Amino acid sequence: MEKFTRFASGVLAALLAACSDPAPAAPDATVVDRPAPVDAAPDLTVPDMTPPRAPLPAVVGLPALRDEDPDPRVVQVSITAAPGVATWRAGRETRVLAYNGVIPGPLLHARVGDTVRVRFRNELEEYTTVHWHGLRISDLMDGSPAIQEPVRPGGEFTYEFVVPDAGTFWYHSHVSTEQQIDRGLYGAIVVHEAEPPAVDRERLYVLDDVRLDSNGQIGPTLTSGPDVGRGRLGNVLLTNGQTARLTATAPRNGVERWRLLNAANARSMRVRVDGARWKVVGTDGGLLPEPYEPVEIVIAPGQRFDLEVRMEDGEAPAAQLVAMVPVAVGSAVEDRDFILAEVTFEGEVEPRPAWVAPSVTLPSTSPMGPLARNWALSGGVVDGGVEFTINGRAGVGHGSHDPRAEPVDRVAQGTPVRITLRSNVSPEHPFHLHGQFFQIVSPAARAAEEPGLKDTVLVRGNEAVTVLTWYENPGRWMFHCHIAEHAERGMMGEVVVIPRSE
């Protein structure tokens, strides 16, 4: 129980994050002026001339996984999924599932181009896999239960991949997601740029909600019509696994990078920052070519936004991360402000120059003759239960994904394809494609409001959104609604991207 509250303080988390990187190792020296014994195999060891690298920037918010490999380009970590308890309601122990005993799971961070090796152990009483949401890695390492035999209780699996893109990503269970993610099996990934933009501090805020019953427990899932139809909304908001407002201090005029991620089953989070000047500088697929200054942002389940936050706003005493959440007031529904996190100003620093991002070029959104696809997101009642479909077909749930299910599409690697997602049912569907990025190309207003590379796009009821992907990563890729209840009830499918060489 202590475990879940131990990391409440951002300061402690910062210390942990800062301590997690081993001291840079000295390059190996190889002795060359000694004749090799005649029968011995030649020693092909090449001295490693790469200079030891600076430690990764600290990310305040979650404890970081310990890097077990001394090689500065390899990050090896151990993650164990196991049942645990959290104390979200005074005097109540909520039965949860957690990675390494904490919710969210610890931060996995690396630098772009690093090799990441995760020694995963399943101590749950059920099967599971780990999916690396947004990482464009091999499908064999993607945690898709259609490809990877799920890890049995007591079993182990080593995930290994090179992280190809810098940005804010996350990891989560990909089996019975509506209950495994809901109960706590999610964590954050930060892949740092080779030369990250200079800021005074980086903070990570992982948003979630859970529904606790009067005993403080998370009930069974997929049991009520509204929970399936809308996806299950919680009655408690969690920020980095905490119910209380997170607090920290920072000097006035400081510049921070805030990384936001929504891990909720179904709740899109409308957020804004008060008391500071802020811009969106990055999204699912990394930094944007141009930052933009919205009034608020909507973070759909699965999505990420990186903000630049300048601690300067007249007389405000603190910068606050505020969520606008609909609550029932009598018979009406009103949006109420919830302050999730507060950074109080203390002291002052010289203002930094304007944000200078590494130059970023996005793939073209107007390629010649792109293929067009229409995917209708629908659903209805079948045999007394709610079923969701894509183009009239229900995919089977994560828990029992049928590896022989026919893919919805086959495309050659590197082919630009416009996919129009039309929502015919339910208020919204945050649509996620594994292993690729895409850009919103229409409606024009959406494309302008939400620039950058995405892996998840919010499609609202009776809306059609067109995205363009270049299918750059070969393999078998799942796509699904990130409302876990919708995915588990059929709103998922697979696309096959045929490698260039075939």
Task: Give me the residues that bind ligand C2O (CB under 6 A), please.
Answer: 131, 133, 172, 174, 302, 432, 434, 478, 480, 482
Least separation, in Å, of the C-beta of 357 and ligand C2O?
26
Token match 């000694």: residue? 34
The torsion angles phi and psi of 2, rounded to 5 degrees, stand at -55, -40
Nearer to ligand C2O, 17 or 491 (CB): 491
Closest by CA to 308, choosing from 262, 256, 353, is: 256
Least separation, in Å, of the C-beta of 438 and Cu ion?
17
Angle at the Cα of 344 (from 341 to 347), degrees rounded to 5?
Answer: 150
Residue 216 binds: one of ligand C2O, Cu ion, none (C-beta under 5 to 8 A by kind): none
Nearer to Cu ion, 429 or 434 (CB): 429
205 forms beta bridges with 260
* Contact status, residue 303 vs residue 262, Cβ threshold 8 Å: yes
Residue 476 binds: one of ligand C2O, Cu ion, none (C-beta under 5 to 8 A by kind): none
Least separation, in Å, of the C-beta of 180 and ligand C2O?
12
| Residues near Cu ion, by CB under 5 A | 429, 481, 483, 486
Cα–Cα distance between 387 and 228 in angstroms, integer?
A: 9
Cα–Cα distance between 394 and 391 in angstroms, integer?
A: 8
- What does R_g of the chain's alpha carbons equal in angstroms? 23
The beta-strand segments (E) located in 198-268 are 201-210, 236-239, 246-252, 255-262
Residue 172 binds: one of Cu ion, ligand C2O, none (C-beta under 5 to 8 A by kind): ligand C2O
Residue 429 binds: one of Cu ion, ligand C2O, none (C-beta under 5 to 8 A by kind): Cu ion
Nearer to ligand C2O, 57 or 302 (CB): 302
Least separation, in Å, of the C-beta of 17 and ligand C2O?
23
Tokens coding 137: 């890695």
The closest residue (CB) to Cu ion is 481
Closest by CA to 409, choosing from 482, 483, 471, is: 471
Least separation, in Å, of the C-beta of 333 and ligand C2O?
28
Which residues neighbour 385 within 8 Å (Cβ) at sequence distance 6 or greater?
228, 489
Least separation, in Å, of the C-beta of 493 and ligand C2O?
11
The closest residue (CB) to ligand C2O is 133
Nearer to ligand C2O, 146 or 281 (CB): 146
* Contact status, residue 355 vs residue 291, Cβ threshold 8 Å: yes
Residue 483 binds: one of Cu ion, ligand C2O, none (C-beta under 5 to 8 A by kind): Cu ion
